[in-house]
Structure 1
Amino acid sequence: MMKIDISQVKQEAGGRRSFYFVTSAPELGLPEEEFGWDGGDIIVEGEVANNGQFLEIRGSIKAKARYDCNRCLKPFTMAMEIPFTEKYFTPGFLPDEDAASYEGNEIDITDLLRENLLLAEPLKPLCSESCRGLCPVCGADLNEKDCSCEKGSVDPRLAVLQQLFKKE
């Protein structure tokens, strides 16, 4: 659990306290097999500030993740830096039901970190933006060599649609 001591910060408006944690995916409840976390350290650093009405936590998460490229299927490692921010209110002053609250002298940010890591997962991870992928005909890696396959063939069921483009 990643807990921040707020006993001093909550006493005075304008109070600030920085924090730094080193954790891992399993400690945050993220199974490494399902996600790309490489088993290395996840570094969390930031600051909690009292603005008078709420405590605001700002920071960043630094982690490395392993993925298979969505185009060429090769494994690669991606360094990620994920910013996060959250406002915490005392239970009596919640502006709405979804607002985060705190009681006592600590705020547990484990769920906040887990949520931000999950939201940062790429939908289609790419080893690079310029990755050319695999040839759909022969399967050659187009990043390594060009192939001589005919790529202009059209599905015969869609060939009629080509006539629409020729008329224009």
Structure 2
Amino acid sequence: MLINLSELFPVEGKSKEYTVSLDMDLFHGPDAGYKITHKEPVSLVITNEGNKVLHVTGCAGFTLVMPCARCLEPVEVPFKLELDQKLDMNQTEEERLEALDEQFYLKGYNLDVDQLVGNELTLNLPMRVLCSDDCKGICNRCGTNLNRGTCDCAGKSLDPRMSVIQDIFKQLKEV
């Protein structure tokens, strides 16, 4: 969803509220794409602070489906993002790049709400997602989800070259 910002420029101190829906159904994160299952309308307040400087505040709420870090089962993760950005419309794209203030959500005088929310979400993604605190994960040999059942891999012998390391672990457990 694009919002045209030029209507706010004529009057300093002018503020306008927007309620827009997110158009994206899939969030492309740094390492994978995540499906959006639930999304609330994004509410924004954009204020002209003078000299073509705009202050954007608002909130966005939605739910992503992310894989569990241990068993890879899908987990619904709710997000409630608070948005707070200053937009200096006097700067050119080159000046923004030079200042390391890349604002991909600005396209001329248009604000791309999906890109703004996506940038904020990238900063707020969790390091790991777990389906539960006591998730057992998957077997590293056969791939069985250990939360659903067991496998026979634990009793099988390891690579004979690793027997020395296995002996060290057994000695540590006895202490």
If the length of structure 1 is used for normalisation, what is the TM-score?
0.61
Offset at residue 57 of structure 1 (A)? 0.9
CA separation of 1:76 and 1:82: change in aligned 2, threshold 3 A: same
The one of 127, 141, 146 equivalent to 1:141 is 146
CA distance 1:76–1:111, shift in 2 (3 Å):
closer
Structure 2 distance, partners of 1:48, 1:16, is 6
Q: Does 1:47 align with 2:52?
A: no
Partner of 1:74: 73
SS in 1 for 2:120: helix
Gaps of at least 5 residues in structure 1 are none
Please list the CA deviations of residues 24-55 of structure 1 after superposition, one character each: whole Å capped at 9, or x if unmatched: 325x8859xx5122354453222212334521
Asked if the contact 2:23–2:114 (Cα under 8 Å) also holds between the matched residues in 1, the reply is: no
Secondary structure at 1:66 match in 2: strand
Residue 107 (1) aligns with residue 105 (2):
no
Partner in structure 2 of residue 131 of structure 1 = 135
Question: Could you say if the C-alpha distance between residues 135 and 159 of structure 1 is closer, same or farther in structure 2, counting changes exceeding 3 Å?
Answer: closer
Q: What is the one-letter code of the residue matched to 2:34?
A: G
Residue 10 to residue 156, structure 1, CA distance change in 2 (3 Å): farther
- 1:9 and 1:132 map into 2 onto residues whose CA distance is 56
Q: TM-score, normalised by structure 2?
A: 0.60
Cα shift at 1:114: 2.8
Contact 1:24 1:39 in 2 (8 A): no
Between the aligned partners of 1:11 and 1:89, the Cα distance in structure 2 is: 16
- Does structure 2 conserve the Cα–Cα contact (< 8 Å) formed by 1:70 and 1:125? yes
Identity of aligned residues (%): 18
Deviations 1:62-109 (A, max 9, x none): 1211122111232222211222322111326978644457865x5344
Residue 22 of structure 2 is aligned to residue 23 of structure 1: yes
CA RMSD of aligned residues (A): 4.3
Corresponding residue for 2:82?
A: 83
Q: Letter of the aligned partner of 1:128 in structure 2? A: S
Distance 1:17 1:84, change over 3 A: same
Amino acid at match of 1:131: C
SS at structure 1 position matched to 2:69: coil
Residues 36 and 110 from structure 1, CA distance in 2 versus in 1: closer, same or farther, beyond 3 angstroms? closer
How many residue pairs match? The answer is 158
Q: Which residue of 2 aligns with 1:3?
A: 3
Gaps of 5+ in 2: none
